[in-house]
Chains A and B, each alone.
Chain A
Amino acid sequence: MKSKIPEGPLSEKWSTYKAKAKLVNPANRKKLTIIVVGTGLAGASCAASLAEQGYNIKSFCFQDSPRRAHSVAAQGGVNAAKNYKNDGDSTFRMFYDTIKGGDFRSREANVYRLAECSAHLIDHAVAQGVPFAREYAGYLNNRSFGGVQVSRTFYARGQTGQQLLLGAYQALERQVALGKVALYTRHEMLELVVIDGKAKGIIARNLETGKLERHVADAVVLASGGYGKVYYLSTLAMGCNSSAVWRAHKKGAYMAGVSWIQFHPTSLPQHGENQSKLTLMSESLRNDGRIWVPKRANDERTANSIPEEERDYYLERRYPSFGNLAPRDISSRAAKERIDAGHGVGPMKNAIYLDFSDAIKAQGKDKIEAKYSNLFTMYEKITGINAYKEPMLISPSAHFTMGGLWVDYELMTTIPGLFALGEANFADHGANRLGANSLLQACVDGYFIAPYTIPNYLAGELNATKFDISHPAFEEAENTVRRQLDRFLHTNGTLSADYFHKKIGRLLYEKCGLSRNRKNLEEAIIEIKELKASFEKDLRITGDNTLNSELEKAGRIADYIELAELMCYDALQREESCGAHFREEYQTTDGEAVRNDEEFCYVSAWEWKGQNKEPELHKEPLVFEAVELAVRSYK
């Protein structure tokens, strides 16, 4: 496990790498094929950029069109150190904010590169036609986001992710028309094919017909997103899953920071048992909304009838310098603390207030409407409540996975030839991601990093043995998939796939969610094993092995159950609190996280050892040269 960080000063590492990376002659590029799984921002941008260079790309997504990938749902914005506001921003400042935001649990070199590439991403997106917000003079506008004190977030109303994704999708479709990308929509990767220790292909299931297909390539890229949907109730799309990542893990790719899950502080609260997802309200709302709960526990009065002096603006109270813009992990945990203490509001007492009345008084309703009208409309559609008149009810919800496949500086996993991009890897956000850094990382990985690092790998593959789909490794991988699908169809139990998904989600939320402790985690590991046993005998899948959404769910849930167990091992082993990982045993008397740099300043990378065996931990030490490890304070 080598991180392959280039030598030299931090600010020169990436240019040094690019200057020295191996190249592939244009005539040879068309002899090489790359599989890209996922068509979100990371996958589509990587596939399009490599196709532009002349490689042959096979692009896969489970949705009916690449444009549906869940990057589409990101609302707030994308960060870039342009310093257009002349407010003191710089590459180093952005690097530092991201490292600190991640609670000093990410690699300096990766994070610096992310900040370094950020400015050019805005240039590229504008060239593609992304309609970012503008000032009246025609220049690009920005806003500020949680965890930082400058304005570096570029946005397209509340649909920044959609607009960036359409840019990447259109670039991808352009390459489809040019014959450089073969698109496989409604296809799901169900197995990685490894030959002589290198990633050489995948088994994909055509979700329209149910047929299993073998696809061979010279390199495989997983850009399949995050696995927050393991909690069932989350801000993710219904189809988001961990299967590509998890099946690669079982073929030898290590998983890192597995239990580091960001709970977004501003989603809509749960309202009932049949609910399928929690809708996100953009964090940008915290620029103008004030968060509070009643000072008195179990206060039954309506929000507007609680006088000012009986309201507890707990973020402003606890974190006066960042206030309502405290980072996500801190805001979410503070909300849970108040809710657990009996100050929760709403019908299920599981929410807090996000109040715009002061902002409306100060700026006028028009200004607030111009900034957030789509969010207020969406809120009213879902809840039936007019948030111009009474505060929004919000609560924390599982959102983003900082963890994922372990990758080196080149974004390559521990399996040579297998790369992981975007949310599917663990790389840049440490133990907590800052708002508007997710779109950025996905884009930077796909547009600017993989197009250098993948050719650097492929240069060494030109003269390697070529395999085809008749190789026994394909046969074996296909058989593994086929056996599992048959088992699901013939279990003949009584419980649906959703039943198990809700079970594992609830269990994780309670025992490996916003806060964790040893006792709960140890119990969770036992309960997950029991759930797994029940899944194997009690599952009921109706229909057959053709188009069958229940059969698709079964595979994803089988993977979630195994992943959940690893998440608990990861959370149990890390006896410190850092970022989103809050171990109740390690906190100050006033409830702040206590990190342990002496013993835990490393990345935890886990190796799969087989069914019913404990995973094996590998440690990648984190070395800080440019920044000093500091207590992460937003007070």
Chain B
Amino acid sequence: MKLYLKIWRQFDTSSKGEMTDYEIDGVSEHMSFLEMLDLLNENLIQQGERVIEFDHDCREGICGQCGVMINGRAHGPLRNTTTCQLHMRSFKDGDTIYIEPFRAKAFPVLRDLKIDRKAFDTIIASGGFIGASTGQAPEANSIPISYETAEEAFDAAACIGCGACVASCKNASAALFVGAKITHLALLPQGKVEAPKRALNMVKQMDLQGFGNCSDTRACEIECPQGISVLSIARMNLEYMKALTFRK
């Protein structure tokens, strides 16, 4: 099929970017979206032009490094799908596709479609862990965890840190990302000890990084490739309020 692409080009963080038109022919429906971009880049190299920079790595939907806005939607038209798992059979011959980076104040554009998501790492560093140093662990079966609890914790732990939630939120809030980690760890007996401190620190860091507040539109849940529930935002609020109320 032949496609008309409008792609965001921006040289670096401080430059002004713009949408640029490209045409691409010979796209097969079996190609992934990123393979379509590979093909476009191959064409650009043949023309001696600088390639379009975009982030990607595992190309199987789990590393969280890829992610662009496709026709205004994070990771494109399909539910629960990363950009790398989107295939061209979702488009048809003659389509025009708008491709832009995930936009948020906390995610500056590095070049073209590549963004800087260090803010997420910084939030994790502020408290998104269980402080068990190597060597301290007791026998694994000494603390039984119910099947349901383990499954619920897993549902939240499945977050891949791609940033689609932030990009889809009109406030550029990271509440779903932060809520998912707080939920994962607060549900497990091993994570309860540090839960109050974790909730206070992570929420504070989220604000410091420049993410906006949650106004409960739930766009994040709709666009999350892992289908993380907005209930994790409720749990973040619960853990935060508990911690704030009983703070010593």
Give residues in A with beta carbon < 8 Å to B. 45, 48-49, 52, 63-70, 72-73, 82, 84, 120, 122-129, 131-140, 156-157, 159, 162-163, 166, 169-171, 173-174, 176-177, 183, 185, 208, 237-239, 271-272, 274-277, 279-280, 377-378, 381-382, 384, 447-448, 451, 494, 496, 498, 540, 542-544, 546-550
Known: A131-B153, A498-B38. A137 touches B190 (CB 8 A): no
Contact A238 B134 (CB under 8 A): no
Taking a contact as CB atoms closer than 8 A, the residue among B50, B134, B147 that contacts A447 in the complex is: B134
B197 at the interface (CB under 8 A from A): no
Contact A128 B158 (CB under 8 A): no
Q: Which of B44, B48, B56, B65 has the most CB of A within 10 A?
A: B65
Stretch of B1-9, B124-132, B167-175 lying at the A interface: B124-132
Q: Give me the 7 closest cross-chain CB pairs, A-B, nearest first.
A: A138-B144, A170-B129, A127-B137, A173-B125, A127-B132, A123-B137, A131-B154
Stretch of B25-33, B209-217, B228-236, B237-245 lying at the A interface: B25-33
Known: A173-B125, A276-B32. A549 touches B53 (CB 8 A): yes
Taking a contact as CB atoms closer than 8 A, the residue among B55, B64, B126, B144 that contacts A139 in the complex is: B144
Number of residues from B at the complex interface, CB < 8 A: 78
Contact B51 A543 (CB under 8 A): yes
B178 to chain A, nearest CB (A): 14
Contact B45 A123 (CB under 8 A): no
Contact B62 A542 (CB under 8 A): no
Per-residue A-contact encoding for B80-124, CB less than 8 Å = 1, 0 else = 110001010100000000000000000000110010111011001
In the bound assembly, the distance between CA atoms of A82 and B58 in angstroms comes to: 31
Give residues in B with beta carbon < 8 Å to A. 12, 28, 30-32, 34-35, 38-39, 41-42, 44-46, 48-51, 53, 55-65, 78, 80-81, 85, 87, 89, 110-111, 114, 116-118, 120-121, 124-126, 128-134, 136-141, 143-147, 150-151, 153-154, 157-158, 160-161, 184-185, 188, 190-191
Contact A70 B63 (CB under 8 A): yes
Contact B85 A382 (CB under 8 A): yes
Contact B62 A162 (CB under 8 A): yes
Residues of B within 8 A of A498 (CB): 38, 42
Contact A127 B130 (CB under 8 A): yes
Name B120's closest neighbour in chain A (CB-CB). A65
Contact B154 A543 (CB under 8 A): no
Contact A279 B51 (CB under 8 A): no
Can you report 28 A-B residue pairs in the complex whose CB atoms are below 8 A from each other?
A48-B134, A52-B134, A65-B118, A66-B121, A68-B57, A72-B64, A120-B137, A124-B134, A127-B136, A127-B138, A129-B129, A129-B157, A129-B185, A129-B188, A136-B146, A136-B147, A157-B154, A171-B133, A173-B125, A173-B128, A185-B121, A277-B59, A279-B60, A496-B45, A540-B45, A547-B12, A549-B51, A550-B51
Name A540's closest neighbour in chain B (CB-CB). B45
B141 to chain A, nearest CB (A): 5
A-B contacts at CB below 8 angstroms, number:
217
Residues of B within 8 A of A546 (CB): 12
Residues of B within 8 A of A73 (CB): 58, 60, 62-63
Taking a contact as CB atoms closer than 8 A, the residue among B63, B80, B128, B134 that contacts A63 in the complex is: B63
A142 to chain B, nearest CB (A): 11
Residues of B within 8 A of A68 (CB): 57-58, 63-65
Known: A70-B58, A134-B147, A498-B42. A128 touches B87 (CB 8 A): no
Task: With A123-B137, A279-B59 given, name 14 new contacts (CB 8 A).
Answer: A64-B118, A67-B63, A70-B57, A72-B64, A127-B136, A136-B146, A138-B145, A162-B62, A166-B157, A171-B132, A173-B129, A381-B87, A496-B42, A498-B42
Contact A238 B158 (CB under 8 A): no
In the bound assembly, the distance between CA atoms of A68 and B35 in angstroms comes to: 20
Taking a contact as CB atoms closer than 8 A, the residue among A123, A496, A542 that contacts B140 in the complex is: A123
Contact A272 B30 (CB under 8 A): yes
Taking a contact as CB atoms closer than 8 A, the residue among B85, B110, B133, B137 that contacts A52 in the complex is: B133
Contact B132 A128 (CB under 8 A): yes
Contact B57 A237 (CB under 8 A): yes
A10 to chain B, nearest CB (A): 24
Residues of B within 8 A of A45 (CB): 134
Known: A66-B121, A157-B154, A276-B38. A126 touches B140 (CB 8 A): yes
Contact A159 B62 (CB under 8 A): yes
A416 to chain B, nearest CB (A): 25
Taking a contact as CB atoms closer than 8 A, the residue among B63, B87, B130 that contacts A237 in the complex is: B63
A55 to chain B, nearest CB (A): 13
Known: A173-B128, A274-B31. A84 touches B110 (CB 8 A): no
Name B43's closest neighbour in chain A (CB-CB). A496
Residues of A within 8 A of B34 (CB): 276
Contact B116 A64 (CB under 8 A): yes
